[in-house]
Amino acid sequence: MTEQEEAGYGRRGVKTRLLGFILMVLGVLDSLLTLRGGIPAYEFLLLILLGACVFAIGAVRGGRRPFTEADEG
């Protein structure tokens, strides 16, 4: 495996994982701020779950090896 193939293999799904992480952090920060004000923050739990799902999709995409003809045989 060449250096270029290794670099391409490890970079798949990075943007998706980063977006999911940002959504989770925003959900946690928003829920903490609303709890400080004394208001229950159930709607921000959905933002945290959405961020976790997006992060998981990026992790699956990053772990999948790209198909090449060299893998056939």
pTM of the model: 0.69
Give the confidence band of 4 by pLDDT, cuts at 50, 70, 90.
Answer: low
The candidate with the shortest Cα–Cα distance to 62, out of 7, 4, 3, is: 7
Is 71 a member of any domain?
Answer: no
Is 52 a member of any domain?
Answer: yes
Residue 37: which domain range?
Answer: 14-65
Is 6 a member of any domain?
Answer: no
- pLDDT for residue 63: 80
Can you tell me which residue has the tokens 């992480």?
A: 21
Is 3 a member of any domain?
Answer: no
Is 1 a member of any domain?
Answer: no
Q: How far apart are CA 30 and CA 44, in angstroms?
A: 7
Task: Give pLDDT tens digits for 21-62.
Answer: 999 999 999 998 988 888 877 888 899 999 999 999 999 988
- pLDDT for residue 72: 54
Is 5 a member of any domain?
Answer: no
- pLDDT for residue 62: 84
| 13: alpha, beta or left? (left if phi > 0; alpha if psi -120 to 50) | left
Question: Could you give the number of structural domains in the chain?
Answer: 1
